């Protein structure tokens, strides 16, 4: 099946593949940045939560 250049559909069909490749890279990078940020925050929050639990347990004793 062919597409005519006059309709612009040829370019759209050709560019759809490129858009999918670029969007895939952006989505992957976005997830990597988000997970890296959450990993750092998780370690920081874990230390804070551990300190809070220790303070509560020491107060109860």
Catalytically active residues, by annotation: 23
Q: How many CA atoms lie within 13 A of 28 on its CB side?
A: 6
Alpha carbon distance 53, 18 (integer Å):
52
Output DSSP code: residue 15.
H
């Amino acid at each position: 099946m062919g597409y005519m250049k006059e309709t612009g559909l040829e370019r759209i069909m050709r560019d759809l593949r490129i858009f999918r490749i670029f969007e895939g890279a952006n989505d992957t990078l976005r997830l990597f940045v988000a997970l890296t940020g959450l990993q750092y925050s998780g370690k920081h929050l874990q230390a804070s939560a551990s300190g809070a639990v220790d303070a509560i347990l020491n107060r109860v004793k």
